[in-house]
Amino acid sequence: MASEQKKDVWYLDSRCSNHMTSNKGIFVDIDSSMNSQIIMGNGSIVRTKGKGTVAIQAKEATKYIRDVLLVPDLEQNLLSVGQLVEHGYMVHFEDNGCKIYDKSDGKKVMANVKMEKSRNFPISFHYPRYNALKVEVKNESWLWHKRYGHLNFQSLRSLQQKEMVYGLLKIESKNDICEGQGKSNVPIVSLYVDDLIVTGSDEKMVHEFKSKMMKIYEMNDLGLLHYFLGIEIQQTEGGIFIYQKKYGEAILKKFKMYGCKSVGTPLVVDQKLIREDGSGDVNASLFRSLVGSLLYLSATRPDIIVDDMRSTSGYAFSLGSGMFSWASKKQQTVAQSSAEGEYVAAAVTTSQAIWLRRILGDMGEEHAEATTLMWIINQLFQ
């Protein structure tokens, strides 16, 4: 954050090949590895200790003098006329003075320097001074972030919008509620570690995307997807079939259960549980691996997943000839009968209809007539 300003003097020098200064504190960035030797006007040789950028405070904005050499033994700050010309500035000497123009800004006058009695051309610059501020929060939930030095998001946004911090990145974000609809096709890409899956509605676009990726990265085109994360995919003209036979057999073989007979219950009937049965300790790593494998298998296989006994209800609302609101999700309660499940679905749909009517009323489209609810029961899954 820029606050107070410090004043310093630079001298225009047409014989100087580079901008030079001995003040390391005015650099906003410096490369200390750029070391070299410079022959001064009196024949002496001095060493440079780095090269970087100096920020100066102009009337309207902060300007930057780039490629400035740090020379600790230098007594005066020197501004190279040749380097100014190379960087797009015009230096015009006339009437016991000198004017520096910025050609990129419509030949705007950047500095108007008067010649001294000693025939020197001194330029007085102001340097912005940067202060580090301490930020404290009273909310104890931010203590975890505070230990890492994180600032709250509102303050970061304010610093970025007011351009109070140099170099603070800005992330562009869309405020659209809905995704914009376009006529062009969009590829869908899924990346897991080193496996990349790409699909889309246009086959030509998919091939072009794969060609571009193969030019940038070293990768092989494996063709149609057949196996991914334990899921086998079989693509035919009749449709796409997904199964996990190979993954399930691998789990049985890994835990030495392949070929065992299946049972209807997970434990032996009438078996009493005891704290110590005389067997050895269980391998904790192997047990966690077994639990994780079964959790993943049950999460990706709807036919063996645990049934939560909750019914699924859905609704769809249309205005005119277009549908604008719809949902299909499981009910929050477990219905004791199919009739009770239908009552729950009707209550959820009615609540959504009331909310939509109020939204339309706030927008000036209030409906005096009742909203008609058409009740449809799908018999295919009963």
Tokens encoding 358: 């109020």
Res. 2: pLDDT tops 50: no
Reduced to 3 states (helix: H, G, I; strand: E, B; else coil), residue 297 is helix
DSSP-derived letter for residue 272 is P
Res. 148: pLDDT tops 60: no
From CA 38, how far away is CA 74, in angstroms rounded? Answer: 11
Which pLDDT band, with edges at 50, 70 and 90, does 137 fall under?
low
CA angle at 101 for the pair 103 and 86, rounded to the nearest 5°: 65
Q: Model's pTM, two decimal places?
A: 0.33
Residues 6+ apart with CB under 8 A from 62: 2, 55, 56, 128, 166
CB 19 within 8 A of CB 69: yes
Residue boundaries of the structural domains of the chain: 2-130, 133-170, 189-222, 224-268+282-306, 309-382
Compute how many other C-beta atoms are within 10 angstroms of the C-beta atom of residue 300: 15
Res. 90: pLDDT tops 70: yes
- Any idea which fold 2-130 has? Cathepsin D, subunit A; domain 1 (2.40.70)
Reduced to 3 states (helix: H, G, I; strand: E, B; else coil), residue 142 is helix
- Give residue-wise pLDDT tens across range 17-39: 888 888 887 888 888 888 888 88
Task: Please report, for residues 9, 27, 163, the alpha-carbon distance to residue 76 in angstroms, rounded to integers and kept in the order given.
Answer: 8, 16, 33
Provide the β-strand partners of residue 317.
325
Most confident of 2-11, 137-146, 173-182, 251-260: 251-260
pLDDT of residue 4: 38
Q: Which helix (H) or strand (E) holds 289?
A: helix 284-300
Residue 54 burial by Cβ neighbours in a 10 Å radius (0-12, 13-18, 19+): buried
Write the DSSP string, 237-254: TTEEEEE-HHHHHHHHHH
Residues 6+ apart with CB under 8 A from 341: 311, 313, 331, 335
Residue 43 burial by Cβ neighbours in a 10 Å radius (0-12, 13-18, 19+): exposed
pLDDT of residue 180: 57
Average pLDDT of the chain to the nearest whole number: 77
Which pLDDT band, with edges at 50, 70 and 90, does 105 fall under?
low
Of 131-140, 152-161, 257-266, 358-367, where does mean pLDDT reach its minimum? 131-140
- Give residue-wise pLDDT tens across range 251-310: 888 888 888 887 777 777 777 878 777 777 888 888 888 888 888 887 776 666 666 678
Of 140-149, 160-169, 259-268, where does mean pLDDT reach its minimum? 140-149
- Give residue-wise pLDDT tens across range 177-227: 555 556 667 777 877 777 778 887 778 888 888 888 888 888 877 778 777
pLDDT of residue 84: 84
Of 18-27, 136-145, 346-355, where does mean pLDDT reach its minimum? 136-145
Once rounded to an integer, what is the mean pLDDT over residues 84-110? 79
pLDDT of residue 178: 58
